[in-house]
């Protein structure tokens, strides 16, 4: 029997993930000094790019506004425009770093829509490959992701470091 070890997911699956307040607001609250520990790859004017700590696939990024808004209606036009341009940038960087065959790019607004963080809108950028969903996802609600989020950070940070804020 083969064993699949994912110890970094333990705190998530047991409900032990605790953040004081909003996850996205917390991630950028301490300024750039905490970016590596909180997996923030890039800070732009209205939004930031962060690695999903519990990714659907390798390279799963999120673009979130600094403003604590829960929908598009409450978002400023400048923030929305920058968000989609950052998604475009993420797509390009991920293509170079991972060579995916496709992408899922989208938002889940509200708990009933599947939002894990329902009070702070954010855009997912998820690289996809043929066969990246194995039988484990279907039969055991388990996903195999071979790269730790910290490794993803080390791989992608040099590319994001070249961008203008």
Give the number of other Cβ atoms within 10 Å of residue 117's Cβ: 17
As its CATH architecture, domain 8-161 has 2-Layer Sandwich (3.30)
Q: What is the pLDDT along the chain (165 residues), one digit of tens a residue?
A: 455 556 655 555 555 556 678 999 999 998 898 999 999 999 999 999 999 988 888 899 999 999 999 999 999 999 999 999 999 999 999 999 999 999 999 999 988 888 888 899 999 999 998 877 644 444 444 445 578 899 999 999 999 999 988
122 labelled catalytic: yes
Of 75, 76, 86, 80, residue with least CA distance to 44: 86
Q: What is the pTM of this model?
A: 0.84
Task: Please identify which of the residues 42, 60, 120, 122 carries the catalytic annotation.
Answer: 122
Asked if residue 34 lies in contact with residue 25, where contact means CB atoms within 8 angstroms, the answer is no
Instruction: Give Cβ neighbours of residue 54 (< 8 Å, ≥ 6 apart).
Output: 9, 12
């Amino acid at each position: 029997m083969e064993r699949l070890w994912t110890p970094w997911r333990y705190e998530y699956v047991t409900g032990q993930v605790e953040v004081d307040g909003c996850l996205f607001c917390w991630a950028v609250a301490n300024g750039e000094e905490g970016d590596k520990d909180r997996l923030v790859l890039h800070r732009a004017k209205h939004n930031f790019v962060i690695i999903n700590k519990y990714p659907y696939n390798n390279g799963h990024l999120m673009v979130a506004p600094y403003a604590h808004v829960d929908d598009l209606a409450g978002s400023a036009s400048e923030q929305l425009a920058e968000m989609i341009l950052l998604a475009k940038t993420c797509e390009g960087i991920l293509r170079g770093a991972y060579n995916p065959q496709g992408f899922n790019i989208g938002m889940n607004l509200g708990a009933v829509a599947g939002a894990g963080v329902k009070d702070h809108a954010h855009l997912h950028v998820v690289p996809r490959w043929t066969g990246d969903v194995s039988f484990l996802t279907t039969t055991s609600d388990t996903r195999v992701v071979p790269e730790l989020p910290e490794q993803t950070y080390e791989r992608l940070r040099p590319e994001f470091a070249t961008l203008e804020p």
